[in-house]
Amino acid sequence: MRKFLAILFLLCTVSLGFVPLPVCSAAGAAAPELVQLTDMSFPEFFQLLEAHSAAKGTGLTFDKPPAEPIPGKLYDAYVFGAVRKGVPGQHGVFITAYANKAGYVSKVALAVPVSNGEALQDAYAAEYALLGVVGIEDTKAKRLMGYLKARRVPFEVAVWNHWAQRNLVISHGPASISDKVFYIRLTAYDKTFPSENR
């Protein structure tokens, strides 16, 4: 199991290494810039994730994350897992929260094996809880989850987050180096893209 998690971590790290920046079509307008996903440190983020997960009834239990992150050049990675209680079989979601050097959670990735339907449900439950953590109101989060589950992968969706004043970008698809791993990535930009409506 540890070997599998290590491989997933590497796949997740590689797939998050490139975040395509959208091209701004308006003359003279600056393109949206990648910004941190939250204004929370990892301990605050993790505590809120557990609280939102419990309040939303996801049934997830989270592994205790390490006290120290895995250091990186631009981001430090906190790696932990989650699984829905009472669901038989081998499944779970592998979660990586990337904190910038100022200590704030800047992006989050979830990874599961494509062939494991229960693990995919774990990932969607974790994604639903994460939407609450970043400030998406619950009614909107439920509608958004219905939309996300109905889409064919790969895709990216941008949602303006009024609470945080950030443009939340949610990506679903196979990992860039292996189509056997399904990932969900949450990042944020400082403004909407030119073709978006709030």
Alpha-helix residue ranges (DSSP H) falling in the chain:
2-15, 42-55, 117-133, 138-150
Q: What is the pLDDT of residues 40-93, one digit of tens each?
A: 999 999 999 999 999 999 999 999 999 999 999 999 999 999 999 988 889 999
Cα separation of 198 and 188, whole Å? 15
Per-residue pLDDT tens over the stretch 104-147: 999 999 999 999 999 999 999 999 999 999 999 999 999 999 99
Cα 145–chain centre separation:
13
At position 153, the amino acid (one-letter code) is: V
